[in-house]
Amino acid sequence: MNIVAELKERFRPAVAPLVADPEALLDMIRPTQNVSFGDYQMNCAMPLEKRLGRPAQEIATDLVADLKIDDLCESPQVAGKGFINLKLRTSWIEQQLEEARRDERLGVLAVTAPQTIIVDFSSPNVAKPMHVGHIRSTVIGDAISRMLLFRGHRVIRDNHLGDWGTQFGMILYGMQNFSRQADYEENPVRELSRLYRLVRKLMDYHESTEKLPRRQMELQKCEATLTKAQAARNSHDPADKAGLKKTDKELRRIESQCREFRDEIRSLQDLLSAIDGDVTLSGLTQTHPDICDSVLRETALLHASDPARLERWREILPKCREDIQRTYDRLNIQFDVELGESFYHDRLDRVVKDLEARDLARKSDGATCVFLPDFEAPMIVRKRDGAFLYATTDLATIQYRMEMWQPDAILYVVDFRQGEHFDKLFAVARNWGYEQVHLQHIKFGTVLGDDGRPFKTRAGDSVGLEGLLDEAVTAAAKVVEENDLQKEAGPDFTPQERASIANIVGHAAIKYADLSQNRESDYVYQQEKMVAMKGNTATYMQYSFARIQNIFAKGLIDIQALRQDPHSKIRLLQPAERALGLQLLRFEQALDEALEDYRPHLMTEYLFDLAKNFSDFYNDCPVLRAEEQDERISRLLLCDLVGRTIGRGLELLGISVVDRM
């Protein structure tokens, strides 16, 4: 039951005759800030005042008179300027909870019109080890898929692996030039990743050498502009406040641009001097001056099905995938299909020809481009040298997915920095005839280190995901141990039990820390904080769940039996019971809100609020020591619903619970 959706439907017949576009008005039903006004508030009378030319209070009174809502609410009150206050009947809340407690799905209905939705997520480039950046797409995409599935949609989880790109050219080059056979035989993926990193460094060196003087020039220009702007600022008429504000804003923009150039120059210089200071590496930069071109050639040969390259690729790909699979297993991530970029290679030529035939693409400077009216630069679908691009593959992928699954929507859970790529991709796809399918880039921000910069190791590499998971489990083990040692009746876990709980808690911590952020924000990776027992953490949520199971264990309650017992009843007599009951009923709404624009943090917020409501209830209302038997049973049933809602909510986020903690 989505209460707000239900209230909306009740208001619809009253609001619809008044305006042509009732939706926006119906969206004005909100939970009240203050319980003394009731549970919900409908605020649409105020904006109607102007449109209808009548006082808002009068409109509100008329709306209330037309409302058929008796079964659900006590009689609605018009207050203040024209607010309509709604208080749900406690008996109605009880009745809904009765239904929820007997229902496997906690009263959440499946949608009546399920959609087919493809979720493109995780999608790492496989020849390099997974790093912290991959956590976001993987975890957010998984949570979105789980929530959509639970809501009743058909979901196809597709891991669009980068298994065909330049990184393979790098590895091929590395294998030819720097391979250590014995290391490769011992641990192929470690050796491949060493090769990848080595080649990356050498390429970075040459690219940075080229870039540095360009950036220095740009900085000089930027600083000159800044000096001019500062002079203009100083001679600006102080009385012209608006003008000054504008100038200041412009000044700040230029300053921040200069800062960006300076930062970039510093990091280019750091990179160069780190390599110059390393005798072996700097020697290699000398002996491999053309490495960037060579890597491109290797990639091109692979794409042209050169037998030696293709054979190598076929040999290393399964090894890379195995390595990635280990991480997925640890995180309990599954896909329905894993069609990497290589799968689409044979279709690319046809895609380009089709775009040309429809006059969507044309040659420009030797490259084949799709020009888009709303974009400065065209989308290149084939380079001058004949190579296809990331974008070409993405177009072929859309075509394939449409043929294969006729989806209603395709969601791409990818770093925000690819925003322009997806804007263009979607524009081209629409021109190409895929107008019906809803295409959406589910953007996310960056994982930052303590210094506010993208999370890196001291050596400047991005942090490996496996190592991070290990560290989180170790940190969780400490928390689990501390908690166990503090128990009144003494510790009750064996070392094995502690380890297995820490394993669940550690992995959950990383996921939850990520999911509890609005996906578009950057966040700072704080290991201590995310495994902590207190605060909005997975550990706290898991602890709340375990605490409830502990109540049942302590009271020797067979909760399954009680749940099914037809004579047991939920009664909401105390304010804390009613508040908890209402919060329990908001689960479906939280799910809908989290799915509206695919923001899992709205689910974590809901769960956190639920846990807080539960704490209040638990403080105010004795459960096992309740005075009367009816009361005790009712409270046990509430505890059970809270536990199941937390468990289900966490499951929808891909997080497991433990019965004891």
| CA distance linking residue 161 with residue 260, whole number of Å | 32
**What single DSSP character describes residue 418?**
G
Q: Which is nearer to ligand ARG, 136 or 578 (CB)?
A: 136
Q: Which is nearer to ligand ARG, 85 or 393 (CB)?
A: 393
The least distance separating ligand ARG from the CB of residue 339, rounded to whole angstroms, comes to: 10
517 contact partners, CB below 8 Å, separation of at least 6:
445, 523, 601
The least distance separating ligand ARG from the CB of residue 340, rounded to whole angstroms, comes to: 9
The least distance separating ligand ARG from the CB of residue 585, rounded to whole angstroms, comes to: 37
Contact 150, 113 (CB under 8 A): no
Task: Give the chain's length.
Answer: 661
Strands (E) across 486-573 are located at 523-524
Q: Which is nearer to ligand ARG, 404 or 553 (CB)?
A: 404
Q: Which is nearer to ligand ARG, 162 or 407 (CB)?
A: 162
The least distance separating ligand ARG from the CB of residue 515, rounded to whole angstroms, comes to: 19
Q: For the chain, how many helices (H) and strands (E)?
A: 25, 13
Q: Which is nearer to ligand ARG, 424 or 635 (CB)?
A: 424
| CA distance linking residue 67 with residue 61, whole number of Å | 10
Q: Which is nearer to ligand ARG, 82 or 124 (CB)?
A: 124
Q: Between the CA atoms of 247, 253, 259 and 261, what dihedral angle is there, to the nearest 10 degrees?
A: -120
Residue type, position 507, single letter: H
| CA proximity to 638, closest of 539, 567, 561, 562 | 562
The least distance separating ligand ARG from the CB of residue 660, rounded to whole angstroms, comes to: 39
Around Cβ 435, how many Cβ atoms within 10 Å? 8
| CA distance linking residue 144 with residue 441, whole number of Å | 13
**What single DSSP character describes residue 555?**
T
Q: Which is nearer to ligand ARG, 152 or 454 (CB)?
A: 454
The secondary element (H helix, E strand) that includes residue 511 is helix 495-515
Q: Which is nearer to ligand ARG, 76 or 162 (CB)?
A: 162
Residues that bind ligand ARG (CB under 6 A): 120, 123-125, 160, 162, 394, 397, 412, 414
Residue type, position 526, single letter: Q
Contact 25, 6 (CB under 8 A): no
The least distance separating ligand ARG from the CB of residue 105, rounded to whole angstroms, comes to: 32
Q: Which is nearer to ligand ARG, 461 or 565 (CB)?
A: 461
The least distance separating ligand ARG from the CB of residue 597, rounded to whole angstroms, comes to: 19
The least distance separating ligand ARG from the CB of residue 342, rounded to whole angstroms, comes to: 12
The least distance separating ligand ARG from the CB of residue 512, rounded to whole angstroms, comes to: 23
| CA distance linking residue 10 with residue 546, whole number of Å | 39
Around Cβ 11, how many Cβ atoms within 10 Å? 24
β-bridge pairing 77-79 and 447-448: unpaired
